[in-house]
Structure 1
Amino acid sequence: MKILITGGAGFIGSNLALNLIGRGHQITVLDNLSKQIHGENPEETSPLYLSIKDKVKFIKGTVTSREDLEEAIQNQDVIVHFAAETGTGQSMYQIEHYTNTNIGGTALLLDILANNSHAVKKIVVASSRSIYGEGKYWSEELGVVYPGYRMDEDMQKGDFEVKYPGTSQPLKLMATDEETKIQPSSVYGITKYNQEQMIMTVCPTIGIAPVAFRYQNVYGPGQSLSNPYTGILSIFSTLIKNNKKINIFEDGKESRDFVFIDDVVNATVLGIEKDAANGHVFNVGTGVATDVVTVVNELFKSYNTKIPVEISGNYRLGDIRHNYADLTKIQSLLGYTPSVTFADGIQKFAQWVNEQEILEDKYQMSIEEMKDKGLFK
């Protein structure tokens, strides 16, 4: 098949492109080579871009340009729509930019397809676990509940767990399935759900099969080490390599579902190649929640080193407490099962980091930005 990947020079996109080429598909990539992700001189130094540039048809452009999209769409059978600004914290003050890129770019893509002849038969869109907000919990008094965002006044007192009106007992975290209530707690989450909704709603009306993947926290070799706004594994690794103290937010017990890049690529390939995926949204993760203290300890093991760690009680407004995926649907319909454990994935990631030139740590700069906006406490 001829497959267009928007954002295809990014972390997931470039790995997917290489996998699909190996499976005999012809790949076109549309990417703007953002300096935040690829560094200051991306066309000469970005390992993600350099890994694909001679293997794909590469178009340097943006999904917010009609001309760029029209060129990229020509003669494509499938579009994998990854192009988006990422970062929950940054989205809370770069609101117009995130909205224009994520929502506007998707709207423009669909507008072109709805009003012009084309060969596209399927669109796969990258959605996100961020659309669930705090996700799904069990209350002894009320049964299944979906808590809203946490209150600033509670977190100021060091009370970080989620609450729900009418409950007195602690809530028990449950795996988040695809039927879980949608209630994003960041502008990024709102834009990802809007992308998903537009693809799932418009595509069937214009004869295109839609598929959406709600990715959990993706990590692995190739992840940007220069982007201080996303990926705690990259952020912590850069701090370790620069011998700087790690500040663990809240009480360190907050958790995420960390899914290795190879598993994410395999799930996405199933969505592209299997008709059983058509018309569905799927969680992609491991089904395991890992807390931040465990993340730091596993990194120390993998790098065979330690640096000072402070569990500070700092927090960011808009961050969620916990989330991990229920994989029942994707296992049943597509046969997806994650194959890389967190311990093994961290080792592979650390081996790759050890081979990289470690750049200046820009993390504190991102924290100062959030402080200035009143989002970091």
Structure 2
Amino acid sequence: MKILVTGGAGFIGTNVRRELNERGHSVVVFDHQDRRGQLADGEEFFLGDVRDATAVTEAAAHCDGIIHLAAVLGTQETISNPRPSAETNILGSLNVFEAGTQYNLPVVYAGVGNHFMRLQGTGCYTITKSAAEDLARMYNAYRDGGRITIVRPVNAYGPGQSIAAPYGSSKVRKIAPSFACRALTGTDIEVYGDGTQISDCVYVTDVARTFVTALEHNADTGRPTQAPVEVGPLTSVTVNDIAKLVAEEAAKLTGREPVGITHLPMRPGEIPNAVVTSDTSTLQQIGMTAKDFVPLDEGIHHTVRYYAERWLPSWLDSQRVSA
């Protein structure tokens, strides 16, 4: 099949494309910035914005399925400036759903693992992504050709995830690179809140496998899953547990003692003592099980090593130059 991947140049999108290619599918990357230089052999590129209904419809007309990942991310960031996330995450998703339904295509939509938190005063990212889930259910229930499978990963992590300030240029702070970069440079890891909140993480290759498997299931059966497919680990851990794992792995790689943990006030949009987990039994709908997922300690090992080898040398060089 030829699969359109919106947001295909991003962290999850890159891994989804790799999984699609390995399974013999053709890939069309849909992005509003020219990312042709990042394409693998045989991949196609469509320059467009999901907010542009005409562009989305034109791209969908030439494909056999859609994996919709494009979104404006961020918790605190989308509170201070909610309009971009509303336009992209709601209206952009509406355009994708309309195009997929018009051509009776299997569509997989990336929901959020903390969807329930929209009722508790969380950020615009969760609100808008969850609103798009409601739209997907409407299409499936009432529109001929509505075939939208919702896949809800918890926090995806792994090699290659973008790094936020002060160590990188990303505008959105992600847990794994944030913890890894601080630990590798000998700086205490910063944790918002007391760290006892549960925010499960899932290795990005497992997320990618789930998206592609969900699409294939939709294509084979001609219909979406009955319930959203939730992607996460079998065993939950706290944010403090994750920080300690990262600190210990960084210590092995650098030869230093493990760094400590500094606790900061919760940011707007974050809820103290939150429990963000997944119902992994929903994976059975597409013939998968979380028992096959990469264990957290193994995933942290690969992730911290990636930043130690690919990011740390250049960062150390930049510090020597600035000094």
TM-score by length of 1: 0.72
Structure 1's 77 and 220: CA in aligned 2 closer, same or farther, altered over 3 A?
A: same
**1:186-197 alignment runs, 5 A limit:** 186-197=123-134
1:255·1:323 contact (CA, 8 Å) conserved in 2?
yes
**Which stretch shows the higher mean deviation, 309-318 or 72-81?**
309-318
**Contact 1:228/1:235 (8 A) holds in 2:** no
Residue 353 of structure 1 corresponds to which residue in structure 2? 307
1:29 Cα deviation from its structure 2 partner: 0.8
Q: What residue number does 1:224 align with?
A: 162
> Counterparts of 2:303 and 2:203 in 1: how far apart (Å)?
9
> Are the equivalent residues in 2 in contact too, given 1:277–1:334 (CA < 8 A)?
no
Equivalent pair of 1:288/1:325 in contact (CA under 8 Å): no
Distance (whole Å) between structure 2 residues aligned to residue 56 and residue 357 of structure 1: 27
Deviations 1:338-374 (A, max 9, x none): 421100000011121122235779xxxxxxxxxxxxx
**Matched residue, 1:314:** 265
SS in 2 for 1:212: strand
Map of 1:81 onto structure 2:
68
> Cα distance, 1:279 vs. partner?
4.3
Q: Percent identity of the aligned residues?
A: 25
Q: Which has the higher helix share?
A: 2
1:129 partner SS: coil
- 3-state SS of 2:275 partner: coil
- 5+ long unaligned stretches in structure 2: 317-323
Q: Which residue of 2 aligns with 1:294?
A: 241
* Alignment correspondent of 1:17: 17
Structure 1 gap ranges (5+): 34-41, 135-147, 150-183, 362-377
Cα displacement (A) at 1:253: 1.4
Shift in Å, 1:75: 2.0
Shift of 1:54: 3.4
Q: How does 1:173-322 map to 2 (within 5 A)?
A: 185-203=122-140, 205-225=143-163, 226=168, 227-274=170-217, 275=221, 277-303=224-250, 304=252, 305-306=256-257, 308-320=259-271, 321-322=274-275
| Shift in alpha-carbon separation, 1:343–1:307, aligned structure 2, 3 A | closer
Match of 1:103 in 2: 90
The worse-fitting range, judged by mean Cα deviation, of 201-210 and 17-26 is 201-210
1:58 and 2:55 correspond: no
Whether 2:280 is the aligned partner of 1:327: answer yes
Q: Deviations over 1:222-245 (max 9, x none)?
A: 211242523211112222344444
Structure 1, residues 61-107: CA drift from partner, whole Å, max 9, x if none?
Answer: 32112343233212211111100011112111111111011111112
- Counterparts of 1:197 and 1:360, CA distance in 2: 43
Counterpart secondary structure, 1:125: strand
* Contact 1:92/1:187 (8 A) holds in 2: yes
TM-score scaled by structure 2? 0.83
Aligned residues: 298
Q: Secondary structure at the match of 1:240?
A: helix
Letter in 2 for 1:16: V
Question: How far apart are the structure 1 equivalents of 2:192 and 2:140?
Answer: 41
Whole-Å separation in 2 of the counterparts to 1:123 and 1:71 = 16
